């Protein structure tokens, strides 16, 4: 399960406000806030993939087929932005059935004991045009570690009568930090895992 | 400077981390006991204290070498099993050194130890179970471990000490091969248990008087029983091979039957039957090359 709090920074910057703004541009008058909008992860149009190096030679890629989560943000207040993403560990697929089974088992994800991996944001900061630095806590296999990632606002649009906004982020973790250390000592499988998420968030009613 | 991962073949490295720590720990502890026995010629109180702690601490050392020292409180079921087996080995060692009544052991210590082990192993699964399922599964797991410990104890009492330990080693080796089909870590840990039991077998054979006692039986029952349960619940290993491996220690009892056979014949018969059952379990339980990807 991953919780991310992300804000469309461009909107906030256009309004002359930062996520840290509790007051108006003059620093004296409180700025009226727009009502926070909540979004849900479009589970069909969102993707989660990972890569890890095998035998020190090449990267192979896998995916998580089941993501869900929620986001809340107020365009006028980045500090109110929140994103939670939850990844179902059982949904891991790499194109090899035996490997998938192995990944779900005790050597890696322990999917029976830990059915979800979760990211929960704690702060969002502007990091440039349409990009945000998102800090939060990643819980994987029962271990919680702080993670910082850069999320890019990839666009906005409408489909089936609902407003959608998109973000993409890619960040690396050391899996041994989370107790997933199978094959690390032997160099059979890399310690660093790069996770990439493309998230389409659907505005809730 | 060359990286160890480059010099040592990965497979050799994995096996070494599972086997060497139990052997080293057992060698140290049994060495201490050997020195003690050399000083105290006869009338030895508290014999067998080193066997359960050699099993428990040796197996825990392998877990630490294969992964890392498990955190406290433990996070995963295997980590919980690691701490449980270490604690049981310690308690059993104290019991062997300063024995208390059998009633306290079998009615108090054994149920408490097996229930605690089962809970530490399965507690993460409780979230997906109803209260009834959680109680039933945990209770059955505890009963299974208890049964395994009792069978080992009965077998150890009826046969030569080294035979019982050797049979346990065979059972754990079979468990290693079956479990490895679902989880390399669980297989390695069963291999580590086989190494521990093998050291105990060697010690019992050399000493001739030291044998598997109730403490070592309980430690082994919780360790192997816990691993087999982990294989079933966490890695979906087929149940029949796991049951066969779990009850291989019954064969230790066969070593004493028929009693008219010479002692070495009974020993060989016990080992042969144990090896046969373990081999069948491996043949049916280990699919073709689970890591062939």
DSSP assignment string, chain B? ---HHHHS-HHHHHHHHHHHHHHHHHHHHHHHHHHHHHHS-SS-TTTTTHHHHHHHHHHHHHHHHHS-PPPSS--SHHHHHHHHHHHHHHHHHHHHHS---HHIIIIIIHHHHHHHHHHHHHGGGGGGS-HHHHHHHHHHHHHHHHHHHHHHHHHHHHS-HHHHHHHHHHHHHHHHHHHTTT-HHHHHHHHHHHHHHHHHHHHHHHHSS----HHHHHHHHHHHHHHHHHHHHHH---HHHHHHHHTTTHHHHHTTSSTTS-HHHHHHHHHHHHHHHHHHHHHHHS-S-TT--
| pLDDT band (50, 70, 90) for residue B46 | low
**CB-CB neighbors (< 8 A) of A95 in chain B:** none
Average pLDDT, chain B: 84
Chain A residue whose CA is closest to B79: A179
**CB-CB neighbors (< 8 A) of A98 in chain B:** 289-293
User: Does the complex come out with an ipTM higher than 0.85?
Assistant: no
pLDDT of residue B90: 94
On the question of pLDDT at A4 being above 50, the answer is: no
Inter-chain touch B183–A107, beta carbons under 8 Å: yes
* Identity of the residue in B68, B230, B293 whose CB atom sits nearest the CB atom of A106: B230
Q: Is B3 on the interface with A (CB under 8 A)?
A: yes
pLDDT of residue B288: 63
* Identity of the residue in A99, A106, A182 whose CB atom sits nearest the CB atom of B234: A106
pLDDT of residue B244: 87
**CB-CB neighbors (< 8 A) of B183 in chain A:** 102, 105-107
pLDDT of residue B86: 96
Q: What is the pLDDT of residues B106-135, one digit of tens each?
A: 999 999 999 999 999 999 999 889 999 999
Inter-chain touch A101–B290, beta carbons under 8 Å: yes
Q: What is the pLDDT of residues B149-162, one digit of tens each?
A: 988 888 787 766 77
Inter-chain touch A187–B5, beta carbons under 8 Å: yes
Query: Chain A interface residues facing chain B, Cβ-Cβ under 8 Å?
Result: 96, 98-99, 101-102, 105-107, 110, 112-115, 141-143, 179, 181-183, 185-188
**Residue A153 contacts residue A167 (beta carbons within 8 Å):** yes
**CB-CB neighbors (< 8 A) of A107 in chain B:** 183-185
Highest mean pLDDT among A35-44, A139-148, B102-111: A139-148
Q: Is B68 on the interface with A (CB under 8 A)?
A: yes
CA dist A75 and A85 (Å) reads 20
Residue A162 main-chain phi, psi, to 5 deg? -120, 145
Quick one: what percent of chain B has pLDDT higher than 70? 87
All residues at 6 or more sequence positions from B259 whose CB lies less than 8 Å from its CB, including other chains: B266
On the question of pLDDT at B8 being above 90, the answer is: no
The whole-angstrom distance between A74's CA and the closest CA on chain B is 35
Residues 202-241 of B with CB under 8 A from A: 230, 233-236
Q: Is B125 on the interface with A (CB under 8 A)?
A: yes
How many contacts (CB atoms, under 8 Å) link A and B? 74
| Least confident piece of the model among A28-32, A54-58, A117-121, B56-60 | A28-32
The whole-angstrom distance between B183's CA and the closest CA on chain A is 6
Chain B residue whose CA is closest to A177: B68
| pLDDT band (50, 70, 90) for residue B43 | low
pLDDT of residue B290: 64
| pLDDT band (50, 70, 90) for residue A154 | very high
Inter-chain touch A106–B125, beta carbons under 8 Å: no
pLDDT of residue B255: 65
Inter-chain touch B233–A112, beta carbons under 8 Å: yes
Q: Among B131, B150, B201, B138, which residue's Cα sits nearest to residue B173?
A: B201
């Amino acid at each position: 399960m991953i919780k991310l709090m992300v804000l469309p920074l461009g909107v906030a910057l256009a309004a002359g406000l930062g996520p840290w703004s509790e007051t108006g541009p003059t620093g004296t008058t409180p700025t009226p806030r727009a009502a926070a909008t909540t979004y849900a992860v479009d589970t069909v149009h969102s993707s989660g993939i990972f890569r890890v190096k095998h035998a020190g030679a090449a990267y192979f890629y896998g995916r998580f087929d089941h993501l869900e989560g929620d986001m809340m943000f107020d365009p006028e207040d980045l500090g109110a932005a929140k994103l939670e993403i939850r990844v179902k560990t059982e949904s891991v697929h790499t194109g090899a059935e035996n490997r998938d089974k192995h990944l779900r088992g005790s050597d890696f994800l322990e999917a029976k004991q830990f059915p979800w991996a979760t990211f929960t944001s704690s702060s969002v900061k502007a990091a440039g045009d349409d990009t945000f630095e998102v800090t939060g806590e990643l819980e994987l296999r029962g271990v919680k570690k702080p993670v910082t990632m850069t999320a890019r606002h990839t666009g906005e649009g409408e489909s089936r009568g609902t407003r959608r906004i998109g973000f993409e982020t890619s960040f690396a973790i050391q899996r041994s930090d989370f107790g997933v250390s199978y094959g690390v000592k032997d160099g059979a499988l890399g310690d660093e895992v790069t996770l990439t998420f493309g998230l389409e968030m659907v505005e809730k009613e | 400077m060359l990286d160890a991962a480059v010099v040592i073949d990965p497979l050799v490295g994995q096996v070494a981390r599972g086997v060497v720590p139990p052997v080293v720990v057992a060698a140290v502890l049994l060495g201490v006991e050997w020195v003690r026995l050399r000083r105290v010629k006869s009338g030895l109180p508290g014999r067998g204290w080193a066997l359960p702690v050699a099993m428990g601490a040796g197996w825990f050392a392998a877990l630490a070498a294969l992964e890392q020292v498990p955190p406290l409180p433990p996070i995963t079921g295997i980590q919980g099993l690691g701490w449980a087996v270490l604690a049981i080995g310690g308690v059993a060692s104290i019991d062997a050194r300063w024995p208390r009544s059998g009633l306290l052991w079998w009615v108090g210590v054994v149920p408490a130890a097996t229930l605690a082990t089962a809970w530490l192993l399965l507690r993460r699964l409780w979230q997906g179970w109803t209260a009834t399922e959680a109680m039933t599964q945990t209770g059955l797991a505890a009963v299974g471990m208890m049964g395994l410990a009792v069978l080992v104890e009965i077998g150890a009492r009826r046969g030569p000490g080294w035979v019982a330990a050797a049979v346990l080693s065979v059972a754990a080796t079979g468990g290693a091969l079956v479990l490895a089909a679902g989880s390399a870590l669980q297989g390695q840990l069963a291999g580590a248990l086989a190494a521990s039991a093998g050291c105990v077998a060697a010690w019992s054979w050399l000493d001739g008087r030291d044998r598997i006692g109730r403490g070592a039986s309980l430690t082994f029952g919780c360790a192997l029983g816990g691993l087999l349960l982990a294989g079933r619940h966490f890695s979906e290993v087929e149940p029949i091979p796991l049951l066969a491996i779990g009850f291989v220690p019954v064969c230790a009892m066969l070593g004493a039957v028929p009693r008219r056979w010479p002692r070495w014949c009974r020993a060989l018969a016990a080992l042969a039957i144990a090896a046969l059952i373990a081999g069948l379990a491996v043949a049916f339980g280990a699919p073709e090359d689970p890591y062939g990807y």
